Amino acid sequence: MISAYHRPTRITVSLPNILHNYQLLKGLRQRPVFAVIKADAYGHGSLPIAKALEAIEADGFCVAVSDEALELRQAGITSRILVLGLTDPQDACLHAQKNIDLTVSSLDWLKKAYDFLKNSSSLPLNVHLKIDSGMGRIGVRDTKEAQAIIDYIKDHQDHLTLAGIFTHYATADSSQANCKNYVENQSQFFKEKIDALHLEVLAHRPIIHQSNTALSFWYPEKTLDAIRLGIGLYGCNPSDGEVTLPSDLPILPALSLTTTLSYVKQLPAGQSISYGATYTTEKDEWIGTLPIGYADGLPRSSTGYQVLIDGHLCPIVGRVCMDQCMVRLPYAMPTGALVTIIGTDPISGQSLSAESLAQYNHTISYELFCGFSPRIPRHYLN
């Protein structure tokens, strides 16, 4: 999809805010921090963000799939990269050549990968053993299989290196008692697995990492050798407001979404607006049209959500269309007036957060960010 540069709708990403968030957590926890920039950095733009972070010597990056890692290498990123998802074992040589770390979740995968590596002259493939401590997604649960993977790596150190062991938490972003208990259950499970493994057979000790954004924010005592900073990198509360952010972590939102009024007219009482005629004016009303719709990632269910225009909160009326939507104005505002959907209104200083728009649409900021279409140009503040 082409980016619509000749339309006023745009996403602005503050690179200084992203660097602030990264350095803030790294300074507080005194551990290496890997920036999670999967899914195009949660819709913020992975390449500009990776370049900005590498310029301050960030410890490394995490992505979801191998193509995201290869894109970073092709763009000249040289820092450590870990692919968190599973990769086809036949691509092991390519990732070894590019010095990209891969996740291993079974002995069978490792053996298949080695079959491709054994006749290769590439560097040893760095792998991170994934332990499923309770997410139920990918990862080893059986101690014997985990040890078998470690022993296999020990016996094939010419082509394999165990760079890390990690797990992922399912409920660290919740204040509910059952969720807090589940965090403790996962923590105990992972600790018991690590304690039971004979890591001394390896030439080098792997890094042990379990902290995602939520765990690093609200369970700092569980920080091990490294942190994987995801949604917090972009200045969002991983609980979407359910849990208050720690006072020593004043993270800054990195993304704003703005557009302008493209058309303004007064409609008489009794006039319906948009598809389905779900909204009808009760009196003479000033209606403004915004050049943004659900094809851009503004959820169709945003009807009623209030945006900021010249310091005024203006509700979206009628159904959100594919490319446009309409808002009710307090008076005849001029076309070209700035509309803030996410971010701070320059007139009033009021702010609208991504979390508030996500909550209004019964989703989370992660999904909202990832849904913003490439049709919206990204502009970067340096």
CA distances from 195 to 144, 168, 189, 352 (A): 13, 17, 10, 46
List all residues 6 or more positions away from 221 whose beta carbon is below 8 Å from its beta carbon: none
* pLDDT for 49: 99
pLDDT at 18: 99
What does the alpha-carbon distance between residue 343 and residue 350 come to, in Å, rounded to a whole number?
8
Calpha distance 159→123 (Å, rounded): 7
Q: CA-to-CA distance for 216 and 232, rounded, in angstroms?
A: 10
Whether 275 sits among the annotated catalytic residues: the reply is yes
The fold of 15-234 is: TIM Barrel (3.20.20)
Q: Is 375 annotated as a binding residue?
A: no
Q: Give the pLDDT confidence score for residue 2 in this predicted structure.
A: 85
Show the beta-strand stretches assigned E in 246-344: 255-260, 263-267, 272-273, 279-280, 285-290, 306-309, 312-317, 325-329, 338-344
Neighbours of 24 (CB within 10 A): 18
CATH for 255-352, among 2.40.37.10, 3.90.1260.10, 3.40.120.10, 3.30.420.340?
2.40.37.10
CA 55 to chain CA centroid, nearest Å: 20
Task: Based on the residue annotation, tell me whether 366 is a catalytic residue of this protein.
Answer: no
In this predicted structure, what is the pLDDT of residue 50?
A: 99
Q: 15-234 with 255-352: one CATH topology?
A: no
Of 151, 163, 80, 86, which is closest to residue 124 (Cα–Cα)? 163
Asked if residue 267 lies in contact with residue 287, where contact means CB atoms within 8 angstroms, the answer is yes
Residues 341 and 259 sit within 8 Å (Cβ to Cβ): yes
322 is in an annotated binding site: yes
The one-letter code for the residue type at 21 is: N
pLDDT given for residue 17 in this prediction: 99
Question: Measured between alpha carbons, how far is 54 from 126 in angstroms, rounded to an integer?
Answer: 20
Helices (H), the chain: 15-29, 38-42, 46-55, 66-74, 92-97, 107-117, 143-155, 177-196, 213-218, 354-360, 365-371
Annotated catalytic residue: which of 144, 263, 265, 275?
275
SS3 185: helix
What is the block-wise mean pLDDT of the chain (382 residues), using blocks of 10 residues?
Answer: 91 99 97 98 98 98 99 98 98 97 98 94 93 98 97 96 98 96 98 96 95 98 98 96 93 99 98 98 98 98 98 98 99 98 96 97 97 98 92
For the beta carbon of residue 167, count every other beta carbon within 10 angstroms: 25
**Planar angle of CA 268, 271, 273, nearest 5 degrees:** 125
- Model's pTM, two decimal places? 0.95
| Domain residue extents for the chain | 15-234, 255-352
Structure tokens at 241: 């407001």
For tokens 């092709």, the residue is 74
Q: Give dist(CA 149, CA 109) in Å, integer.
A: 10
Tokens of 238: 């991983």
CA neighbor of 172 nearest in space, from 161, 183, 156, 163: 183
Q: HSE (CB half, 13 Å, CA atoms) of 242?
A: 16
What pLDDT score does 226 carry?
A: 98
pLDDT of amino acid 1: 80
Q: Cα(365)–Cα(370) distance, rounded to whole angstroms?
A: 9
